[in-house]
Chains A and B, each alone.
Chain A
Amino acid sequence: MSVTNLLNNWAAVRHFHPIDDKPHDPYKWAMAIDLDACIGCNACAVACYAENNLPVVGREKFQHGQAMHWMRIERYWNEDSREFPDQGAEFLPMMCQQCEAAPCETVCPVGATNHTQDGLNSQIYNRCIGSRYCSANCPYKVRYFNWYDYPTTDNVWPAEMNYQLNPDVTVRGKGVMEKCTFCVQRLRAAEVTAKGEGRIVREGEVQTACQQSCPTNAISFGNLVDPESRVYKQWKAQQVDLAKDEQEKDKREGGTDLRGYRIFEDLRPYPSVMYLERVRESAV
């Protein structure tokens, strides 16, 4: 062990940063969620349970706020204090925003959460010591901690129910932090297949579980550096730039007629999920 070693290695650990580096070659996984299409049906959330081996914690633990839903559907009401919510509710699917400058990454004492070259905010379960600093510093509160040892907890995966577990995804034990991975197991499989064939992953070749189940196609997911991808086109059409903390369109006089935005952009986490505002008919 030498200081040089340590410093060199250190530089490698934190190499990728959106602003001053050249990452995202050839992938930058990103998402766009159309809130006008989202109907709040929860299909995506259940798909996430099925794909990612999320434990069902039961009534008591849910009451204590220990639910493990990586993807949660939030339901908001207009705050105009009318008698009835006559413009309906607003649903927002919220999961890890895979921030490019993630607040969670810098604070982890053991470097268990890192940025990958393809733009994911990864979580290394084996490395995690459970300090929960990442969750403390997450503005979206989308990180979920294993408060109990769910694999051995009664009625989480009792006999036979455990047959359903996805062998591609680790079943997490107590004391580690977890969160949405953008279905990294699917991404890696697709990337490896593509690499073997000497190409990059094509648009539509890989879907996240939530995207796959969404009956209204509210969720699009893909490679943000691939001009052919739907996500790229959507981000471009909405003039949302990954590396900006305030979009040019929002600085314009009189606002914009585009509805793409990122949540808490001004905190500068550079999230990889763009939302499209919900629309309501003005004529009624």
Chain B
Amino acid sequence: MIDSESTKNLSGQAFDRRDFLKVLGFGGTAVALSGCGNTSIEDGKETVVSYVEAKDYVIPGVAVYFNSTCAQCDAGCSITGKIREGRVLKLEGNPESSINRGKLCGLGQASVQHHYNPDRVREPLLRNGDKGQAISWEKAYELINEKLQGAKGEEVAFITGDVSGHQKVLLTNYIDSLGSKNHFVYEAVAPAVVRAGNLKSYGVEMPRYRIDKAKVVLSFGADFLGTWISPVHFAQQYAAFRKGVDGQRGVLIQAESKMTLTGANADRWLAVRPGTEGILALGIINALGIATGDVAELVKDYDRARVSRDTGVEPSNIDKIAAILRLRSPSLILAGSAAEGYVHGMQNADAINLLNHVLGNVGKTIEAPVSVPFPQLTQTKGNTASLKKLNDDLAAGKYKVLFNIATNPVYTAPASYKYGDSMAKAGFKVAFAHYLDETALQADLVLPLDSEMEDWGTHVPEYLADTAQINIQQPLMERLHANTRGMGDILLTLVKQRKPEEYKAFDDYYGYLRYAMLQNKAALGGSGDDDVFWNDTLSKGIVKLSGASGALSAKAAVEGLKLPQPEEADKQYPLRLIPSVTSNLRDGRHTNQPWIQESPDPLTTIVWDSWVEVHPKKALELGIVEGDIVKVTSKTGSVNVQVYVFPGIHPEAVSIPMGRGHEAMGRYAKGYGVNPFGIMDAVFEGSTGELAMHETRVNIAKTGQRVIVVKDEGPAGGKQMGRRVALSRSTDQVDLSKEV
């Protein structure tokens, strides 16, 4: 076991990080770094070090590669960094990882721009009026200690994102040492309802989905190719699924109200009236006609005509889907974030999961998860309910000290929370941040964090593929700015303030990490010499474990499953707002990475700005065209945003992507686009208390302004105008079995 218990009996061991870096070949980085900057020898700012005395691994012109873990999202892809003369240049996927198998998405690759970002916070900053005053780390730690003296344990709160590995261990220990129980794990975009639904339907929160084994995938708004859980992994499964067996290509059907990247790749995309995904699922069970017992009882009212009326899906399509699901087995039904964003989200998820039971997919394409046998290291999963609780507590003035660790709730909380105001009620707010984002700007003390390319760590992703694994994060280069610190190091220092005896043996987080890992060498599959094991672990970047597999419950959970009738349209706010999660921007924490800003949204090809998607029919009705600036108003507020007329959306819905509209954070993020969180109503999912993101109703009105939409797509608007450019054919016109 790796926890604080095992570290208590340590005898004094000294770990010299610098020495170790030298062994790894990082010792020479300073040499090269100074050679590439803007300083020059003439300025007298550069230290000339001869390459004749170059350190190990630093061969001018030859790249070395080190493995680490991507921290851009929580999928936990393993990365291989290409390092030349001490600078990390490019990230590629680590083929050893069963999650991403050598591949990496655009977001992951852009994390070098997070590392080199010119807008990173570089010094600890203490609020002095409206300004931040640079202070030393010693002073910062002292200040924290001082403020904590004046607060009881229950008056201290922590808000973090998903957290796992040894950082979680240290964090938990620190929170414990303060006597606090207030750890809020917050992720603005998290599959929290899916987890709860899975737990109810399958007995586990996150089973393994086997798209590659399925012959038909029916997805209710699960954007598994773009943003859902582990997109790079699922995209690889998808490739195998499309190749199929014996040339029989897998069939993807996507039912959702706003087309996602996955929907754009579907053989059949169904525009479902927002919120009626569950009804469609029950309708398909009904049409299948193979359900028995209480399930048959449940779906008996969901005949074709009614389902079609409620969902807007053609009866013939329901038949076709039922037919292909009957014909081709196994299939896989997925319930995604689009289905869960409602008050009855959990009911939707249950109804959809029920399909898997009826079709007998559980155990075939839905497999028991593998898990890492160290519960202290597994991921504490974030959700949005935690932010609601924190906000209520803050508003009630319950906390004197608030630690905000790399989250940005001022930006991602629905405007009706007035999180900024609530936060102001905490006496002393510490933000551990990479950028001066909206939340950091409101803090009293901002502590600059290392980038993931400068820091040590271990990660256990929520979704594990073939085998259980612990992902190693290690520095790919020397610290870029002298005064940033790793979160692990900071936590170690802080916990030492509380429990100096227990942690005195560890000079730094690296030493702690190494010791902790070596203590458990056997359990981690290592043997023999410590250094050999450790170097091997670092060089692989992954520790693969023979993880335990859980069991799935085979019984369908139908109790309490009752779907509401779709509501009539509100007169004042007739449209549904779908705040879409795009694969580039997600919850907006990466917006300051220019590659991300300039990477066109796959479906609209818009860059550097927000837009509201309106169906052509609706646009015609409202008399709006592309580029019109419209005012989108909800009960909570309004935003002015440009229109993009988009066929892949239900006419009763409009969609604004998340992630833009920052008021701070940096030069590439600030002032571009709008933030849909600003107009989101605070409506919650019935059983989990999660923010029901799709429940906001809006109206749109022309403002009379018009702009040119900045996008890659030309004025032909995605038409080929009779040119033979992107060709397509149907499966009956092609013989895939002959292909390579």
Residues of A near any B CB (own CB < 8 A) = 35-37, 39-43, 45-47, 49-51, 56-59, 62-63, 67, 69, 72-79, 83-92, 155, 158-167, 209, 212-218, 230, 233-234, 237-238, 255, 257-259, 261, 263-264, 275-284
Residues of A near B231 (CB, < 8 A) are 41, 215
Using CB atoms, name the residue of chain A closest to B238: A216
The 9 closest A-B pairs by CB, nearest first: A46-B106, A215-B235, A216-B239, A59-B608, A281-B267, A56-B594, A89-B264, A282-B730, A92-B726
B719 engages A77 (CB within 8 Å): yes
Closest residue of chain B to A139 (Cβ to Cβ) is: B723
Could you name 22 residue pairs across A and B whose Cβ atoms are closer than 8 Å? A39-B235, A40-B265, A42-B602, A43-B105, A43-B106, A46-B106, A59-B710, A69-B712, A73-B602, A79-B720, A87-B266, A89-B264, A91-B264, A92-B726, A159-B118, A163-B37, A215-B100, A216-B235, A216-B239, A257-B734, A283-B324, A284-B317
Query: Does chain A have a CB within 8 A of B253?
Result: yes
A282 touches B727 (CB 8 A): no
Taking CB atoms, residues of chain B closer than 8 Å to A43 are 103-106, 109
Pair B602/A213 contact, Cβ less than 8 Å: no
CB distance from B382 to the nearest CB of A (A): 24
Using Cβ atoms and an 8 Å threshold, which residues of chain B touch A213? Answer: 92-93, 103-106, 109
B609 adjacent to A59 (CB under 8 Å): yes
C-alpha gap A158/B594 in the complex (Å): 11
Instruction: Tell me which of A78, A88, A162 contacts B267 (CB under 8 A).
Output: A88
Q: Which of A230, A257, A259, A281 contacts B740 (CB 8 A)?
A: A230
Asked if B149 is an interface residue, CB under 8 A from chain A, the answer is no
Given contacts A46-B110, A278-B728, A284-B324, is CB(A84)–CB(B648) below 8 Å?
Answer: yes
Task: In the complex, identify which listed stretch (B82-90, B466-474, B559-567) lies at the interface while the others stay far away.
Answer: B82-90
Task: With both chains docked as a complex, state the minimum distance between the C-beta of B716 and any C-beta of chain A, in angstroms.
Answer: 9
> Contact partner of B668 among A50, A87, A155, A277, CB < 8 A?
A155
Contacts of B45 in A (CB 8 A): none
State the CA gap A86–B317 with chains docked (Å).
Answer: 11
Q: Is B548 interfacial (CB 8 A cutoff)?
A: no
A88 with B264, Cβ < 8 A, contacts A40-B602, A56-B597, A155-B667 known: yes
Contact B732 A282 (CB under 8 A): yes
Q: What residue of chain B has the Cβ atom nearest to residue A266's Cβ?
A: B724
1/0 contact trace for B222-246 toward A, CB 8 Å? 0001100001100110110010000
Nearest A residue to B721 via CB reads A79
Report the minimum CB–CB distance from A221 to chain B (whole Å).
14
Give chain A residues whose Cβ lies under 8 Å from the Cβ of B270. Answer: 86
The residue on B at minimum CB distance from A214 is B103
Write out the residue numbers on chain B whose beta carbons fall within 8 Å of the beta carbon of A45: 106, 599
**Contact A283 to B731, CB < 8 A, known contacts A43-B105, A160-B118:** yes
C-alpha spacing A57/B730, complex, angstroms: 39
What is the CA–CA distance of A281 and B217 in the complex, to the nearest angstrom?
12
Which of B116, B584, B603, B667 has a CB less than 8 Å from the CB of A75? B603
**CA of A91 to CA of B727, assembled, Å:** 10
| Minimum CB distance partner of B727 in chain A | A277
Contact bitstring B590-623, A, C-beta under 8 A = 1, else 0: 0000110111101101011100000001000000
User: Which residues on the A side are within 8 Å of B321 (C-beta)?
Assistant: 284
Residues of A contacting B317 in the complex (Cβ-Cβ under 8 angstroms): 284
**How far, in angstroms, from A74 to B727 measured CA to CA in the complex?**
12
> Which residue of the partner chain, among A79, A167, A209, A278, contacts B727 with CB atoms under 8 Å?
A278
B206 at the interface (CB under 8 A from A): no
Q: How far is the CA of A77 from the CA of B584 in the complex (A)?
A: 21
Binding site for A on B (CB under 8 A): 33, 36-38, 61, 84-85, 87-93, 100, 102-107, 109-110, 112-113, 116-118, 225-226, 231-232, 235-236, 238-239, 242, 249, 251, 253-254, 259, 261-271, 317, 320-321, 323-324, 480, 583-584, 594-595, 597-600, 602-603, 605, 607-609, 617, 647-648, 667-668, 672, 708, 710, 712-713, 717-720, 723-736, 738-740
Whether B728 pairs with A215 at a CB distance below 8 angstroms is no
Q: Is A215 a contact of B236 with CB atoms below 8 Å?
A: yes
B595→A87 contact, CB < 8 A = no
Q: Which residues of A contact B249 (CB under 8 A)?
A: 36, 279, 281
How long is the Cα–Cα vector from A39 to B321 in the complex, in angstroms? Answer: 22
Known: A39-B235, A41-B261, A75-B602. A281 touches B251 (CB 8 A): yes
B87 touches A164 (CB 8 A): yes
Chain A residue contacts of B103, Cβ below 8 A:
43, 212-215
Q: Which residue of A lies closest to B321 (CB)?
A: A284
Residues in chain A near residue B251, CB distance under 8 A? 281, 283-284
- Give the complex CA separation of A233 and B740 in angstroms: 7
**What distance in Å separates the Cβ of B230 from its nearest Cβ neighbour in chain A?**
11
> Are A234 and B109 interface neighbours, CB within 8 A?
no
Decide: A164 near B113, CB < 8 A? Known: A237-B740, A259-B729. yes
Decide: A257 and B735 in contact? CB cutoff 8 A: yes
| Residues of A with C-beta under 8 A to B723 | 264
Of A87, A214, A279, which is within 8 A of B734 by CB? A279
Point out the residue from A76, A87, A284 that lies within 8 Å of B718, measured CB to CB: A76
| Nearest Cβ on chain A to B499's Cβ, whole angstroms | 37
Could you tell me the distance in whole angstroms from the C-beta of A39 to the nearest C-beta in chain B?
5
Contact: A275 with B110, CB < 8 Å? no
CA distance A77 to B725 in the complex (A): 12
**Closest A residue by C-beta to B267:** A281
Contact B37 A159 (CB under 8 A): yes
What would 16 more interface pairs be, CB under 8 Å, given A159-B38, A164-B113? Answer: A40-B265, A41-B235, A43-B109, A74-B713, A83-B647, A91-B602, A212-B102, A213-B92, A213-B93, A257-B734, A259-B734, A275-B726, A281-B267, A281-B324, A283-B251, A283-B731
Q: Is the CB of B730 within 8 A of A281?
A: yes
- Taking a contact as CB atoms under 8 Å apart, the answer to whether B90 and A50 are in contact is yes
Residue in A closest to B235 when the chains form the complex, CB atoms? A215
**Inter-chain contact B599/A46, CB cutoff 8 Å:** yes
Task: Note all chain A residues with C-beta closer than 8 A to B93.
Answer: 212-213
B491 → chain A, closest Cβ, in Å? 26
Closest CB-CB distance, B234 to chain A, in whole Å? 9
Nearest-CB distance from A256 to chain B (Å)?
9
Query: How far is the CB of B434 from the nearest CB of chain A, in Å?
Result: 13
Q: Could you tell me the distance between the alpha carbons of A200 and B112 in the complex, rounded to whole angstroms?
A: 34
Q: Note all chain B residues with C-beta closer than 8 A to A41.
A: 105-106, 225-226, 231, 235, 261, 583, 602
| Minimal beta-carbon separation of A190 from chain B (angstroms) | 13
User: Least Cβ distance of A31 to chain B in Å?
Assistant: 14
Smallest beta-carbon distance A217→chain B, Å:
6
- Kindly list chain B residues whose C-beta atoms are within 8 Å of the C-beta of A69: 598, 712
**With contact pairs A75-B602, A91-B602, A213-B92 given, residues A283 and B238 touching in the complex (Cβ less than 8 Å):** no
Contacts of A167 in B (CB 8 A): 61, 84-85, 89
Which residues of chain B are within 8 angstroms of A76 by Cβ–Cβ distance? 718-720, 725-726
**Distance, CA A268 to CA B712, complexed state (A):** 27
